[in-house]
Structure 1
Amino acid sequence: MNEPVNVLNVKDLQIRTAFGLPVKGVSFTVGAGECLGVVGESGSGKSLSLRAISGVLPRGVQVDSGTTEVRGRSAMIFQEPMTTLNPTMRVGDFIAEGPRAQGVGKAEARRRAVELLTEVGVPDPAVRARAWPHELSGGLRQRVMIAAALAVEPSVLLCDEPTTALDTTVQAQLLALIDRLRRERGMAIVFVSHNLAVVSRIAQRVLVMYAGRGVEEGPTDEILRRPKHPYTQALIGAIPKPGVAAGHLPTIAGAPPEPSAGLVGCAFAPRCPSAQEVCSDQIPATVQVTSGHTAGCHFASPIPEKVL
């Protein structure tokens, strides 16, 4: 089976703010028709990495070093559509802005907007195209955002926690929609979330980020069944399980380091129950633990050279 052609390449991405380096050298690739899930706590650098790829970093935040390369166009879906949709524009006109910016005529762009609303499952698309954002439910607004992203024919779709604020039924519907669009259009997708359970339902591969670095990456099933980094193990341990009473879920003690903190060893060491002296003294190298599965931990056993 042929490997998918990489349409997104991120190499040694480092992002600087006035408070330090919230992203400290992240690297990953995504192939056409593939979904990479990126997980980690708030402040791990997930969303800033996506914004750097799409060129929409906040004011005062800049790429310090590294590269992001997209073959084709990228489009981004944000967590809260009401802060992205223009309240003074009907949703059909908002969707049509992308094609219009590419030189498509007004009538054709509006026709295309209705087609896209149909494609993403909005009922009565011709009527909804004339609605204002506040007249739609949260789930429909997010479908509008997906339609607006598709309007520019992206090869890479960047999803920044697009289902977080939605109830579980609507969340499941949108995950199924994004997965269908990936398969039908052959898009590369980067799906950012703090929720590993959500990511496991849509991603073929997972990148775990902690304190601005990628600490583990591999096939989704492999990560879930055989996590090698203690942080990944802690995230999986915190996933709610049937039969566990409310208030009895495992948690990760402590808090992530501030971006301005000067770290010498492993950033997770102060919170890691397995940490030893070397963890505080040396940054762990990233090793290949199985085919396609890497982890940045001093105690992650690499594949023997004769097997590679």
Structure 2
Amino acid sequence: MSRNAGRLLLAPSVIVLLAWMIIPLVMTLWFSFEYYNLVNPTLTGFAGWDNYRYLVTDPDFWVSLENTLIILAAVLFVTVVGGTLLAVVFNQNFPGRNIARVLAISPFFVMPTVSALVWKNLLMHPIYGVFGAIARGFGLQPVDWFAQFPLASVIAIVAWEWLPFALLILLTAVQSLDNEQREAARMDGAGVVAQFFFITLPHLSRAISVVIMIETIFLLTVFAEIFVTTSGGPGNATTNLAFLIYARALLQYDVGGASAGGVVAIILANIVAFFLVRSIGRRLEV
């Protein structure tokens, strides 16, 4: 009786959560097969596969998909490599270590919009930015980052935001490493580099897998940094899949086409998550 009563009490919350997830998904799937353009309300009805056909034949879609994968791969590389090295450094004893840890982790708690504004106006601006002032101090021409290197600039901002997350997870994993293993390796003549590659790095493999899985899910939907800094430009140089969906829905008012892009994004995210979960599951079983 108590079990049934518990289920009855949980039922409203479960129903709300299911409705919160399923209703938007069903509506997105429905609109992806409909002609639904807010600028042309007379164009209605069942579209079949036309929205998907238009999406995959649009050059912007393939550019956005390429940019999405580039941002994903570049940010993962920077955060995993940088996070691993910083975790090893911050595991050492040095004056001010606790303050340095707090400062290194702090960027993760800054909102993406605020981070993008800080980088755009205070750091990367060619006239008022810190980087421009440093370049002029050395007698060099300041770089207009978002005009000359737009995608690299977005990657730098996103990597700066996610590096503290990787550092936090990996530092926790480094601290769980048994010191006796490192002492034994040191007594056997292993240097710092050998200890890192043969003891520390294998120990961090599971933590690195978790970092890759969690970051991948979120990096597929990077939006605020692009919206605030480049608005997908110049041209479509920084347009990723998330920004393309936004542009279709709220700039071109093509709800049907945007819904088709949303369905493709959901499928892509689930495929990536499926393989990552399986890979991490194998590692955890070892």
TM-score surpassing 0.5? no
Greater relative CO (CA pairs within 8 A, separation 6+): 2
Who wins on radius of gyration, i.e. which is larger? Answer: 2
Higher helix share: 2
